Amino acid sequence: MMSIRTFGGNALVLVFPLIILAGCSTTPTPEKYKPKTFTIEIYQMKFQPALLTVHKGDTVEWVNKDIVSHDVTQVPNNLWSSSNLLPGKSWKMAVEETDDYYCSIHVVMVGKLIVE
Partner 1 sequence: MKMLKTFTAWASVTLAIFVLQTMTSNAQTPKLADDEIASVAVVANKGDIGFAQIAQKKSKNAEILKFAHTMASDHQAVIDQAVALVTKLKVTPKDNAVSKKMVADNAKTQKMLNSKSAKDFDKAYIDNEVAYHKAVINAVETILIPQAQNAELKGLLQQVVPTLKAHLQHAEMVQTEISK
Q: Which residues bind partner 1 (CB under 8 A)?
A: 44-46, 66-69, 87, 105-109
Amino acid found at 5: R
Is residue 111 involved in binding Cu ion (CB under 5 A)? no
Minimum separation from the CB atom of position 56 to Cu ion (A): 27
Smaller CB separation from partner 1, 54 or 109? 109
Buried b (16+ CB within 10 A) or exposed e, 39-71: ebbbeeebbeeeebebeeebebebbbebeeebb
Minimum separation from the CB atom of position 88 to Cu ion (A): 14
Measured distance CA(50)–CA(109) in Å, rounded: 9
70 binds, among partner 1, Cu ion, none (CB under 5 to 8 A by kind): Cu ion
List of residues contacting Cu ion (CB under 5 A): 70, 103, 105-106, 109
